[in-house]
Amino acid sequence: MDATIAGILALDGLTNGAIYALLALATVLVFAVTRVIFIPQGEFVAFGALTLALLQSGKVPGTVWFLLVVAAAVTLQDLVNGLRRGQAPQRLAMQALRTLAWPVVVSVFAIWAAPQGLPMLAQAALTVALVTPFGSLIYRLAYESLADASVLVLLIVSVGVHFALVGLGLYFFGAEGFRNPSFWDQRFSLGGVALSGQALIIFAASLALIVGLWLFFERSLAGKALRATAVNRLGARLMGISSNGAGRLSFTMAAFIGALSGLLIGPTTTVFYDSGFLIGLKGFVAAVFAGLSSYPLALVGALAVGLLESFGSFWASAYKEVIVFSTILPVLLWRSLRDPHSEEH
């Protein structure tokens, strides 16, 4: 292997690692706040890439109908729970309105905008607006009533949610794969290594989002509330911080990060309805490097996963996935010996 090939592989690994870093940060965020090991994180990536691809082709994306179905299911669940508690009809109506308002508005706009041929940036913004609400809705539908359950129960629920989203993704998006056009087609030369404009956008977007998350957690009241919930859930409750509100916000942020990651990875690979699982799992491996608790270590772990995948594909392309996922075993063994686990109930 000469220096040129090593440079190409390193650049490819860092590009993929930047996307895995976003998913690792989302995984750490969700687990720290809710204790949910959110396996379906990758589905948001696939939904984002496929939604943009269908908007590019002038078709109404299946995300529209999917979002409306999930919002209707959450509304029905809230209605049944409210009737059991004897809540007033006016309160139930207002709750239903708050749940349905954004999904209906953005879906109607998407149906109108799909055949209009909007600029790519506008379609990307619409994609994020369609996918992001899934986070809060899925939390309310599957996890909110189990907020005090054990980590194992929440993990089992995550597996079920993953299979449900994959199956529904096949129904709403079909089995066809899509590859989106690049946001920037310019190419540059860096020490004999070709650097694409899309790679620069991936680095810039990942860096901007990481800085934005840092500012959110350090400067905003909502960010400090999430940090407090992550440190001590019971103490946060005693201080008046809603654990349900924190869970909804963390899942919304995870969905936003997943949608953005889908936009970034769409031009670099062909995405199918089930492609998100492997992508999200690599982000999970990076999060495990960080013990599902440290954001800086998750970033470092994601870059390591990207580099390992890239160089592994060169030396043994048939086993690159095995190489990446096998690294989780010694990390788990080391962490189990170093930090004996005590579960919070």
Who wins on pLDDT, 93 or 325? 93
In a domain, 345, yes or no: no
Instruction: Report d(CA 91, CA 81) in Å as an integer.
Output: 12
pLDDT tens per residue, range 33-75: 888 999 999 999 999 999 999 999 989 999 999 999 999 999 9
In a domain, 171, yes or no: yes
Would you say residue 194 has pLDDT above 80?
A: no
In a domain, 139, yes or no: yes
In a domain, 343, yes or no: no
Structural domain harbouring 71 = 3-338
- Structure confidence at residue 158 (pLDDT): 93
Strand partners for 188: 195
- Residue 344: what are its φ and ψ, rounded to 5°? -90, 130
- Structure confidence at residue 345 (pLDDT): 42
Q: Which of 183, 138, 185, 144 is nearest to 162 (CA)?
A: 138
Q: Between helices 120-131 and 243-265, what is the axis angle to 10°?
A: 150
Strand partners for 195: 188
Would you say residue 81 has pLDDT above 80?
A: yes
Give me 326's structure tokens. 């096998």
- Structure confidence at residue 52 (pLDDT): 93
Range of weakest confidence among 52-66, 207-221, 274-288, 289-303: 289-303
In a domain, 186, yes or no: yes
pLDDT tens per residue, range 47-56: 999 999 999 9
Instruction: Report d(CA 214, CA 58) in Å as an integer.
Output: 37
How many domains is the chain partitioned into structurally?
1
Range of weakest confidence among 154-158, 296-300, 325-329: 325-329
Threshold 0.95, pTM exceeds:
no
Q: How many CB atoms lie within 10 A of CB 172?
A: 18
Decide if 286 contacts 24 (C-beta within 8 A): yes
In a domain, 275, yes or no: yes
Instruction: Report d(CA 266, CA 127) in Å as an integer.
Output: 12
**DSSP-derived secondary structure for 10-24:** HHHHHHHHHHHHHHH
In a domain, 344, yes or no: no
In a domain, 102, yes or no: yes
Q: What is the DSSP letter of 144?
A: G
